[in-house]
Structure 1
Amino acid sequence: METNGQQTICLTAGVPRLPQVRLAEAATVTLGANEHIAIMGPNGAGKTLLADLLTGKYPLGEGTLVYDFRPSALASAYDNIRTIAFRDTYGSADANYYYQQRWNAHDQDDAPTVRQQLGPVKDEEHRRRLFDLFGLEPLMDKKIILLSSGELRKFQLAKALLTEPRVLVMDNPFIGLDADTRRLLNDLLERIARTGAVQLVLVLSMLDDVPPFITHVVSVAERRVGRKQTRDEYLAAFHQADA
């Protein structure tokens, strides 16, 4: 895909209109059309707030936020950006309900299946490619509450990608996963990144969580946004500071 310096997302000196969701200073971040970004920082640093600003969740009082989602035919952030926050393992469903259901087997009849939760699909060819990529077909009639952690991640990724977003933001994607499931998720994300159709933005706290397909890192500390660095630059600077 020829991008010619295209910026999918360009936030310049952004300050939210609402005081309660502001960072310590104005934020400037760009997402180039071929980049996959990790937003890095400790808990409470302001990483999720920055992701919310990039996705247009909070209207700006100062600065600008410009999108260019080509080759998508749709121009709005609503149509082109999907966000999954893994604090809530079950996505849009009520987490507490599902956690309770998981330990109450006699209530399983009330729980939806993967097929029901994914809903109707507009593009059958796109659906088939995704299901092949994730190996979802055997899970379609399984109750959501009976899915393993890895299967849940697959389900949520597929649900988001079925809408064909240009940008997929994942907040804490590796939280609560064992080593094998982390490797599985990393492999799935790498395959998605290789397609070139979707740009990935991962919100992470741990250096070990930064996958090889990430091209650039934006660090956030004490609610201040650092400059965007290449993955190699960021890792080298981190190890030098650590030493």
Structure 2
Amino acid sequence: MRCEKVGRIEVRNLCKRFHKAGKEPFQVLENCSLTVEPGKLNVLIGPSGCGKSTLANILAGYDSPDSGEITIDGAPLKGPGTDRLMVFQETALWPWMTVMENVIFGPTVRGEMSKKEARDEATRILELVGLQDFRDKYPAQLSGGMQRRAELARALINRPKVMIMDEPFRGLDDLTRELMQEYYLKIYEKTNCTTLFITTELEEAIFLADRILIMTFLPGQIKTIIDVDLPRPRNYHVLTSKRYLQIKAEALEYLIEEGRKCFGEECSIANTMVDEFRRQADNRH
């Protein structure tokens, strides 16, 4: 199953404020602009609370900006739609439905597929995500990693133009998280679905991304973009490569600069970390 080369996202001068009674408006996004090319895996990273999830919710159509423009393949974004599907931090599987029932629910209830067509397509996708033997299980009978794969299957059956992943592996233990990162890459490399992946983990960002979009601290906007020119298909051997360490040191400088704004102080330990990554990269042949 390979997605068509669609899903170009263009965001221009997006602004968003939150209003609370008795308080000054809170500026979350200000003149935020970015472009996501079709078929690319873009990772959005930045300090906690910088507006990453707010931007994701706006792109998914669950919230509206105060000003600015968003287009998908040149068409203005208007509310939620099956051309953009979001995978959240917490599982959204229906607990009373089996894995198969969860996956086929969307296209059958909308009348886009007959039950037979949906089951046939779901069977192919469940094989892709490695859950073909768990189709009749309920979410509570699955591990955390399996639940995330079921979420991916439920999204992929809709053939979205864009996948928006809002820290989907957060809350998993370290080993399961690393396995899910590698598993997700295999799925992406087979489908090439345009993806905006949100994380606070730099190693995850570099391992997954074609491009890393680093956000500023509030108000949020794109500070810089780093191209990740590590070869695909990838595995965890890239984490010891010279190029990986160079990208990590470059990204850390920007993240530390924005992180300081959260605390208002110098971060000497972080500066030492950047210097160490530079040294390792320079010494690696």
Percent identity, please: 22
Q: 1:167 to 1:24 in 2, by over 3 A?
A: closer
Q: 1:17 to 1:42 in 2, by over 3 A?
A: closer
Q: 1:14 to 1:137 in 2, by over 3 A?
A: same
1:154-184: CA deviation from partner (whole Å, max 9, x where unpaired): 1111111111111111111221222332233
Question: What amino acid is aligned across from residue 51 of structure 2 in structure 1?
Answer: G
| Secondary structure class of the residue paired with 1:53 | helix
Give the alignment of 1:111-126 within 5 angstroms. 111-120=96-105, 122=113, 123-124=117-118, 126=121
Give the equivalent residue in structure 2 for 1:209: 204
Give the equivalent residue in structure 2 for 1:136: 131
Q: 1:188 to 1:50 in 2, by over 3 A?
A: same
Contact 2:7–2:194 (8 Å) recurs in 1: no
Unaligned runs of 5+ in 1: 99-110
Q: 1:66 to 1:18 in 2, by over 3 A?
A: farther
1:12-67: CA deviation from partner (whole Å, max 9, x where unpaired): 11124865674252110110113211110122121111222333333344221111
Q: 1:78 to 1:24 in 2, by over 3 A?
A: closer
Give the alignment of 1:92-111 within 5 angstroms. 93=94, 111=96
Contact 1:8–1:68 (8 Å) recurs in 2: yes
Q: TM-score, normalised to structure 1's length?
A: 0.76
Asked if 1:222 is matched to 2:221, the reply is no
How many Å separate the matches in 2 of 1:162 and 1:29?
27
Asked if 1:63 is matched to 2:68, the reply is yes
Aligned length: 219
Residue 9 of structure 1: how far off its partner (Å): 0.5
Q: 1:142 to 1:34 in 2, by over 3 A?
A: closer
Q: 1:22 to 1:81 in 2, by over 3 A?
A: farther
How many Å separate the matches in 2 of 1:34 and 1:141?
32
Unaligned runs of 5+ in 2: 20-24, 108-112, 230-245, 254-270, 276-285
Give the equivalent residue in structure 1 for 2:243: none
How many Å separate the matches in 2 of 1:167 and 1:180?
28
Give the equivalent residue in structure 1 for 2:84: 81
Q: 1:76 to 1:165 in 2, by over 3 A?
A: farther
| Secondary structure class of the residue paired with 1:112 | coil
Question: What amino acid is aligned across from residue 216 of structure 1 in structure 2?
Answer: R
Contact 2:9–2:70 (8 Å) recurs in 1: yes
More deviation, 61-70/222-231: 61-70
Q: 1:138 to 1:21 in 2, by over 3 A?
A: farther
Asked if 1:14 is matched to 2:10, the reply is no
Q: 1:197 to 1:208 in 2, by over 3 A?
A: closer
Q: Which residue among 180, 183, 190 is the counterpart of 1:195? A: 190
Contact 2:41–2:208 (8 Å) recurs in 1: yes
Q: 1:165 to 1:223 in 2, by over 3 A?
A: same
How many Å separate the matches in 2 of 1:132 and 1:91?
21
Q: TM-score, normalised to structure 2's length?
A: 0.66
Q: Flag the structure with larger Rg.
A: 2
Contact 2:11–2:71 (8 Å) recurs in 1: yes
Question: What amino acid is aligned across from residue 118 of structure 1 in structure 2?
Answer: V
How many Å separate the matches in 1 of 2:121 and 2:186?
15
Contact 2:11–2:34 (8 Å) recurs in 1: yes
Contact 2:99–2:150 (8 Å) recurs in 1: yes
Question: What amino acid is aligned across from residue 230 of structure 1 in structure 2?
Answer: D
How many Å separate the matches in 1 of 2:73 and 2:175?
37
Question: What amino acid is aligned across from residue 140 of structure 1 in structure 2?
Answer: R
Question: What amino acid is aligned across from residue 122 of structure 2 in structure 1?
Answer: R
Structure with larger RCO (C-alpha < 8 A, sep 6+): 1
Q: 1:7 to 1:157 in 2, by over 3 A?
A: closer
Give the equivalent residue in structure 2 for 1:238: 251
How many Å separate the matches in 2 of 1:21 and 1:163?
36
Question: What amino acid is aligned across from residue 9 of structure 1 in structure 2?
Answer: I
